[in-house]
Structure 1
Amino acid sequence: MKNENNKPKIFSREQAKLKAESYCAYQERSQYELRNKLYEWGLHQKDVEEIISELIDQNFLNEERFSRAYTLGKFRIKAWGKLKIKQGLKLKGVPDKLIAKSLSAIDMDDYLSKLKQLLEKKSKTITEKDPFKRRYLLSRYAAGKGYESELISELLIRE
C-alpha cells in the first residue's frame, strides 16, 4: 500500500501480522512472497522472521501446500508444462525437494493428454502449409509452455 507521497505504508508488527494472516488465507503463498510483502510493509528482519514462524505454526503458511496448489493450478488452468512450473516455483523460493514432490503429483496420462490438446488447438490456428515449418512452430509453442522437447517430438511424429 502506498500513500499520497508514494512512500510505502508502515504497519506495526500486530497490524502486519493480521494483514499477513488475511494475505495467506486469501490464497496459498510461499514464504518468499510473504517475506517480501512484510518487508514492503516496513517491518524489520526480526519481526518478519517471527511473523513467518507464527504463521507456519498456525498453518496459515505451508510451503508444501503452496507448491502443490501452484503446480496443479498452473498445469490444469494455464496448461503449463513441468519445466515452466519448476521455473516458477524456483522463482518463488521453493526448495528443490518440494518442487520434485509437487511435480510428481501430475498424472503422466493427464500430462500427455494436456500436451496433445494444446498441440491440436494450436495446430488449428497455424496457417503454414509446409509440414516441417508447421511442426517447428508447434514444437516451439509447446516448448514455450514448458513441455519437454522429447515428449513434444514424440507426439508430433505420431501425427
Structure 2
Amino acid sequence: SSESLDWLNSEMEEELDANLLTGDDEFGAILPDQCQDAENLAIELLASRACTAHELKKKLQGKRIPLKTIDAVISDFKTRGLINDCLYAETYSRSKWSSSCWGPSRIKQGLFKKGVTAADADKAIKLVFNDGGDHDSGIGLSRLSLDQLYLQASKQWKRSTCVPLEKRKSRIIQWLQYRGFNWAVIGYLLKKL
C-alpha cells in the first residue's frame, strides 16, 4: 500500500541522513569530494580566526560534515602544522594576560572550554607567567609578571580612594579572585598596596 511505501521511504531517508552525518557509506569510506570540501571550509574558518582542534570540529559538525571526514581533516591539519593546540594555548594565555589581566586559573578555565588539554594549558601558563624572569618563591609568578599585576592592581586600588580601607581591600580581593589569582598572589599584593 501507499502508506507503507511512504513509511519505508522515510525510514531509508533517515538512515541515509544518519550515514551522511557519520561519514558512513556502504563500505565506510570517506569520499574525496567530501574531504576536499571539508578541507576548504576548515581553511576558510582558520583564516578568519585561529581555533583549537576541538573548536574546529564543532564548527565543521555544525555545517553537517560527516564525523569521519572531520576527523580525517583535523588529523591531516595537525600533521601539517595548521592546527597546533599548544601554540594556540600560549597565544590565548598571553592575550588574556596582557589585555584583561587574567590569572592562571581563569586562563586555564578558558582553555578547557576551548578543548585544550591540561598539559598544553599548564605549559602555556608556565611560559606566560614564569617568562624567564626571577621566580618569586611561593607565589608562582615571575618578578616581571608580579610587577605588571601590581601596576594594574594599583590602578584599581586608586579608583576607590573615597571608600573605607576594608571595603577597598574587599574590592581588590574580588577583582583579583575574579581574574583567577590565588591567595598567595592576593596576599602579596595587599601587603604592597
Q: TM-score w.r.t. structure 1 length?
A: 0.85
- Equivalence map 1:29-44=2 (5 Å): 29-44=51-66
SS at match of 1:105: helix
Q: Unaligned regions of 5+ residues in structure 1, if any?
A: 1-11
Q: Which residue of 1 aligns with 2:79?
A: 57
Q: How far apart, CA to CA, are the structure 2 residues paired with 1:43 and 1:128?
A: 58
Q: 1:67 is matched with which residue?
A: 89
Find the partner of 1:46 among 45, 62, 68.
68
- The answer to whether residue 176 in structure 2 is matched with residue 142 in structure 1 is yes
Alignment RMSD, CA only? 1.8
Name the structure 2 match of 1:86: 108
- Give me the whole-angstrom Cα distance separating, in 1, the residues matched to 2:104 and 2:170: 20
Task: Tell me if the contact between 2:38 and 2:70 (Cα under 8 Å) persists in the aligned partners.
Answer: no
Q: Does the Cα contact within 8 Å between 1:115 and 1:142 map onto a contact in 2?
A: no
Residue by residue over 1:49-99, the C-alpha shift from the partner in whole angstroms, topping out at 9 and shown as x without a partner, is 011011112211011111111111111122111111010111111111111
Question: What residue in structure 2 maps to residue 9 of structure 1?
Answer: none
Match of 1:118 among 124, 148, 152: 152
Determine which structure has greater relative contact order: mean sequence separation of CA pairs < 8 Å that are 6+ residues apart, divided by chain length: 1
Give the drift of 1:133: 1.4
Distance, in Å, in 1 between the alignment partners of 2:41 and 2:147 is 41
Counterparts of 1:27 and 1:113, CA distance in 2: 31
Residue by residue, what CA displacement relative to the aligned partner does 1:11-47 show, whole Å, maximum 9, x if unpaired?
x542331121132244331111101001011111111
Structure 1 residues 58 and 22: CA distance shift in structure 2, 3 A: farther
| Matched residue, 1:7 | none
Secondary structure of the structure 1 residue equivalent to 2:100: coil
Count, aligned residues: 149
**Once the two structures are aligned, what percentage of the paired residues are identical?**
24
Match of 1:153 in 2: 187
CA contact (8 A) 1:67 1:94 kept: yes
- The 3-state SS of whatever aligns with 1:77 is helix
